[in-house]
């Protein structure tokens, strides 16, 4: 059979395309997208929505995409400014025809509310059962646990605080999530442990804290910080509340090598419980205070090597999270961040003759 003339073939294709466009307008579409609120990733939201809407036959014009961007920017900014545990929800519906209607709204929880939600929706233990190996190693340096007082900030379910108290350490806990504070208090009272529980934001005051702590612990707390100023506040608190030669230990996601997190990485990291910083930022936060760094260890490597047999990882999610893989889908050895144990020691004031550069004969 002879081929159709070129003009006829083009006409057939045009007819097919026109029919397909009409076919899509006969669809009825409804949907909802929920995403973490990351303002610096605005281009990704617009690209996702634009592609999705076009895929169901409602391609947006440049003006419509510009308006979508404007709406998204406003809701993203509101959500993220309110809480790093925030999302935006994009709902859309398209009746028969060529139009599509959408709505963007912000939603959020505070950090304390998010952990309350964990308690009600996740199977315990939320953070594992074993205390951190690094914390135990530091506490083990005490010849007499009863004279080695510990402050556990953001103690969660008490994984570290209760274990140290059972070893004989007097422990003060500052915890801002009411249910966590109640859990620790109840277990301490049941077992007659020397644990004092203070329920509040640790940065609101230091008036009810002692000035002779041998160890201050922040485990899985600094990754929830939003600013370097919060880390500075921890160093200032340690400088006030540690006894001479006392230690401050915390874990933080630090950038590896020459990697410098951009704003998008920082915002998305905060949404994933993985707030990150650089070593320069840590040094700046501690500058001018009587604190000297004495240890900098990989959390995954240290905990895996020093936890009791069968205790690694603390939870099913811990190994990937501590390796930065909740933010970056990449091989572990290529990930640009990692959770690190940092230990600072409070230095003793120099004697007057040392300050003057004098030496005894």
Task: Tell me the per-residue pLDDT of 224-246, one tens digit each, with 9 for 90 and over.
Answer: 999 999 999 999 999 999 999 99
Number of residues in the chain: 361
pLDDT of amino acid 4: 56
pLDDT score of 124 more than 90 = no
Packing angle between helix 62-82 and helix 42-55, nearest 10 degrees? 130
pLDDT score of 361 more than 50 = no
Spatial contact of 107 and 87, defined as CB atoms under 8 Å apart: yes
pLDDT score of 94 more than 60 = yes
pLDDT score of 353 more than 60 = no
Cis amide prior to 125 (ω within 30 degrees)? yes
pLDDT score of 358 more than 60 = no
Residues 6+ apart with CB under 8 A from 24: 56, 57, 58
The CA-atom distances, in angstroms, between 80 and each of 77, 116, 181, 212 are: 5, 20, 27, 38
Residues 6+ apart with CB under 8 A from 171: 149, 150, 151, 152, 161, 162, 164, 165, 193, 194, 195, 196
pLDDT of amino acid 357: 55
65 CB-contact burial (10 Å; exposed 0-12 / middle 13-18 / buried 19+): middle
pLDDT of amino acid 20: 85
Mean pLDDT estimate for the chain: 93
What gap in Å lies between CA 336 and CA 332, rounded to an integer?
9
Confidence bin at 351 (pLDDT 50/70/90): low
Q: Give SS3 for 102.
A: strand
196 CB-contact burial (10 Å; exposed 0-12 / middle 13-18 / buried 19+): middle
Q: Summarize the confidence of residues 334-354 as an average pLDDT.
A: 87
Spatial contact of 83 and 111, defined as CB atoms under 8 Å apart: yes
pLDDT score of 8 more than 80 = no
Q: Give SS3 for 139.
A: helix
pLDDT score of 79 more than 70 = yes
pLDDT above 70 covers a percentage of the chain that reads 95
C-beta neighbour count of 351 within 10 angstroms: 10
Confidence bin at 6 (pLDDT 50/70/90): low
Q: Give SS3 for 302.
A: helix
pLDDT score of 286 more than 50 = yes
């Amino acid at each position: 059979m002879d081929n159709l003339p070129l003009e006829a073939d083009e006409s057939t294709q045009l007819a097919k395309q026109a029919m397909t466009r009409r076919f899509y307008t006969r669809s009825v579409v409804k949907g909802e997208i929920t995403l973490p609120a990351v303002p610096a990733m605005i281009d990704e939201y617009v690209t996702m929505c634009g592609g999705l809407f076009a895929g169901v036959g409602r391609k947006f014009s440049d003006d419509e995409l510009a308006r979508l961007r404007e709406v998204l920017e406003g809701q993203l900014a509101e959500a993220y400014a309110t809480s790093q545990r925030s999302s935006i929800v994009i709902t859309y519906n398209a009746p028969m025809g060529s139009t599509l209607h959408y709505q963007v709204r912000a939603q959020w929880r505070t950090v304390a509310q998010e952990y309350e939600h964990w308690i009600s929706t996740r199977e315990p233990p939320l953070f594992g059962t074993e205390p951190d190996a690094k914390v135990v190693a530091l506490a083990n340096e005490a010849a007499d646990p009863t004279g080695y007082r510990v402050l556990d900030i953001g103690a969660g379910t008490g994984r570290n605080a209760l274990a140290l108290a059972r070893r004989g350490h007097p422990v003060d806990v500052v915890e801002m999530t009411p249910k966590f504070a109640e859990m620790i208090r109840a277990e301490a009272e049941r077992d007659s442990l020397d644990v004092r529980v203070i329920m509040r934001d640790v940065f609101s005051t230091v008036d009810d804290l002692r000035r002779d702590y041998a160890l201050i612990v922040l485990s899985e707390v600094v990754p929830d910080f939003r600013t370097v100023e919060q880390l500075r506040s921890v160093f200032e608190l340690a400088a006030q509340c540690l006894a001479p030669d006392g230690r401050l230990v915390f874990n933080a996601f630090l950038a590896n090598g020459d990697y410098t997190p951009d704003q998008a990485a920082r915002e998305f990291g905060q949404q994933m419980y993985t707030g990150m910083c650089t070593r320069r930022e840590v040094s700046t936060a501690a500058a001018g205070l009587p604190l000297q760094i004495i240890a900098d260890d990989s959390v995954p490597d240290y905990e895996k090597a020093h936890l009791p047999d069968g205790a690694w990882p603390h939870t099913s999610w811990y190994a990937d999270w501590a390796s930065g893989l909740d933010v970056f889908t990449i091989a572990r050895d290529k990930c640009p961040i990692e959770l690190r144990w940092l230990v600072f020691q409070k230095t003793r004031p120099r004697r007057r003759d040392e300050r003057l550069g004098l030496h005894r004969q």
